[in-house]
């Protein structure tokens, strides 16, 4: 069997088009423009690239983008003062503080100082608790993107066996909660899991989010299973730097029913879902109808 390729790049473009159409409608009917504030502390090159890309795509869907670039030695008090100002600003519907923060800043304190209703990353402890108890929340962008692709491919996920490899707060744990919310039977596996390949072989849906290049091989995959590869790993191959996922693509693709490639799978969905979350936050703030198909 050769797996169907789940094209995250194309899917992200349809999500952005849906967001743009809804943004145009609320501008026209309600005179409201959703706004996203992105805060970057320091000069980490990878973070600078992400932040630039977020700003560009925000403007492309018709929303306002506010960028705050702070020096690497910014004090916690100054950062918290900026967040307080953004929390109170009615033009700002979403706030994202780019991670990782410089070591002298307490990330948990900073994230938990964001108004949960504007927490478009879904990292605030209130949103984590709401998601964990099946209540309406802001949902972390990467797992939300994975859920959208799974729903699009399968329709209902009810009763499926899902194995999530990785227990991070950003991907693994929220992914497991989302799959549980869609009535999957969920296992969270991690570095201490015994006989990981045999656990993964039980899965109808496999989500890998560990950052270990090409860890999962085709013999781990149940024939016909759906594989969602969240890993983005840079490795040297034949003297070149290449991007690979947590799954060995060729061997998994030969066994799976469907698979996301790296690059071009989950990656492009993350910013698309950030834009979707900003629109959702704006609609909730103003008591407007929420966009369909763009939330959990």
Supply the residues annotated as catalytic.
Answer: 54, 98, 121
Task: Give the residues lining the site for ligand GUN (CB under 6 A).
Answer: 96-99, 121, 141
DSSP summary character for residue 218: G
Angstrom distance (rounded) from CA 164 to CA 78: 38
Residue closest to ligand GUN when measured from CB atoms: 99
CA quadruple 294, 139, 77, 102: dihedral positive or negative?
negative
Nearer to ligand GUN, 245 or 257 (CB): 245
Instruction: Record the tokens describing residue 116, joined without a space.
Output: 């949960």
Nearer to ligand GUN, 34 or 267 (CB): 267
Nearer to ligand GUN, 99 or 215 (CB): 99
Please report how close the Cβ of residue 280 comes to ligand GUN at its closest, in angstroms: 16
Please report how close the Cβ of residue 99 comes to ligand GUN at its closest, in angstroms: 4
Please report how close the Cβ of residue 271 comes to ligand GUN at its closest, in angstroms: 9
Instruction: Record the tokens describing residue 133, joined without a space.
Output: 């108890």
Please report how close the Cβ of residue 35 comes to ligand GUN at its closest, in angstroms: 17
Angstrom distance (rounded) from CA 157 to CA 169: 22
Bridge partners for 69 per DSSP: 40
Please report how close the Cβ of residue 110 comes to ligand GUN at its closest, in angstroms: 10
3-class secondary-structure state, position 45: helix
Q: Are 224 and 233 in contact (CB under 8 A)?
A: no
Nearer to ligand GUN, 114 or 189 (CB): 114
Cis ω before 263 (30° cut-off from 0): yes
Nearer to ligand GUN, 98 or 280 (CB): 98
DSSP assignment string, 94-156: EEEE-SSPPTTS-HHHHHTTS-GGGBTT--SHHHHHHHHTT------HHHHHHHHHHHHHHS-
DSSP assignment string, 165-190: E---TTTHHHHHHHHHHTT-EEEEE-
């Amino acid at each position: 069997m050769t797996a169907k390729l789940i094209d995250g790049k194309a899917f992200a473009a349809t999500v952005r088009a849906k967001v743009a159409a809804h943004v145009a409608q609320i501008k026209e009917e309600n005179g409201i423009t959703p706004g996203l504030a992105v805060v970057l502390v320091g000069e980490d090159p990878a973070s600078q690239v992400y932040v630039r890309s977020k700003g560009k795509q925000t403007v492309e869907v018709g929303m306002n983008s506010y960028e705050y670039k702070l020096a690497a030695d910014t004090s916690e008090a100054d950062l918290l003062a900026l967040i307080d100002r953004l929390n109170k600003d009615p033009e700002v519907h979403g706030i994202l503080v780019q991670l990782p923060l410089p070591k002298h800043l307490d990330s948990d304190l900073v994230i938990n100082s964001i108004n949960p209703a504007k927490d478009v990353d879904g990292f605030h402890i209130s949103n984590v608790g709401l998601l964990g108890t099946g209540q309406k929340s802001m949902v972390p962008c990467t797992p939300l993107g994975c859920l959208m692709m799974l729903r699009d491919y399968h329709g209902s996920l009810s009763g499926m066996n899902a194995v999530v490899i990785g227990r991070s707060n950003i991907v693994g744990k929220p992914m497991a909660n989302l799959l549980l919310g869609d009535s999957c039977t969920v296992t969270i596996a991690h570095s201490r899991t015994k006989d990981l390949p045999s656990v993964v072989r039980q899965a109808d849906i496999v989500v890998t989010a560990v950052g270990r290049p090409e860890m999962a091989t085709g013999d781990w995959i149940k024939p016909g299973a759906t594989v969602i590869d969240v890993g983005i790993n840079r490795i040297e191959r034949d003297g070149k730097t290449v991007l690979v996922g947590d799954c060995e693509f060729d061997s998994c693709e030969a066994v799976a029913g469907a698979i996301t490639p790296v690059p071009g799978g989950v990656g492009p969905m993350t910013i698309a879902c950030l834009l979707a979350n900003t629109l959702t936050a704006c609609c909730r703030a103003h008591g407007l109808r929420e966009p369909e198909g763009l939330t959990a």
